[in-house]
């Protein structure tokens, strides 16, 4: 089993920045992909960004390209999401996800999930 714990969410004004962290513990040896998803009220959970450890391949959803940066510290089993130039439409609960399989943007591609951290961007 793998446990994921997110931190770093909060309330920020439009244009501000936040840095989310996700620490993995437990049986992390086979984890290859770590990702961030988000879910706004009344909407489905959507892919934000992911990083694959074997070749550091990174994917972003189009709406966050140029504003968000995902990074991974394999020694600490931690993945980060630096969010800059935040917009009200970025408001959501952000979830960390992890899996041993190849990087994917679908929720079904991840077996391990954190509890989520709230990000609220005020206008």
Residue 108: helix, strand or coil by DSSP?
A: helix
Burial class, 115, CB count within 10 angstroms (exposed 0-12 / middle 13-18 / buried 19+): exposed
Per-residue confidence (pLDDT) for residue 112, from 0 to 100: 96
Cα 67 to the center of its chain, rounded Å: 14
Per-residue confidence (pLDDT) for residue 30, from 0 to 100: 87
N- to C-terminal Cα distance for the chain? 40
Q: What is the pLDDT along the chain (123 residues), one digit of tens a residue?
A: 999 999 999 999 999 999 999 999 999 988 999 999 999 999 999 999 999 987 789 999 999 999 999 999 988 999 999 999 999 999 999 999 999 888 889 999 999 999 999 999 999
Pair 117, 19: CB distance under 8 Å: no
CA distance 69 to 105: 16
CA distance 123 to 116: 22
Per-residue confidence (pLDDT) for residue 101, from 0 to 100: 87
Written as six digits, the tokens of 103 are 């990087």
Per-residue confidence (pLDDT) for residue 56, from 0 to 100: 80
Closest CA to 115 of 50, 42, 22, 47: 22
Written as six digits, the tokens of 2 are 């793998």
Closest CA to 48 of 2, 92, 1: 92
């Amino acid at each position: 089993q793998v446990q994921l714990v997110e931190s770093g969410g909060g309330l920020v004004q439009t244009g501000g920045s936040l840095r989310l962290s996700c620490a993995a513990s437990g049986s992390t040896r086979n984890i290859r992909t770590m990702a961030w998803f988000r879910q706004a009220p009344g909407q489905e959970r959507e892919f934000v960004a992911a990083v694959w450890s074997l070749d550091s391949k990174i994917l972003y959803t189009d709406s966050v390209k140029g504003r968000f940066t995902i990074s991974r510290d394999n020694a600490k089993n931690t993945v980060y999401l630096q969010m800059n130039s935040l917009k009200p439409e970025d408001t959501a609960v952000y979830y960390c996800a992890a899996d041993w399989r190849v990087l994917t943007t679908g929720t079904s591609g991840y077996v391990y999930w954190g509890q989520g951290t709230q990000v609220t961007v005020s206008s």
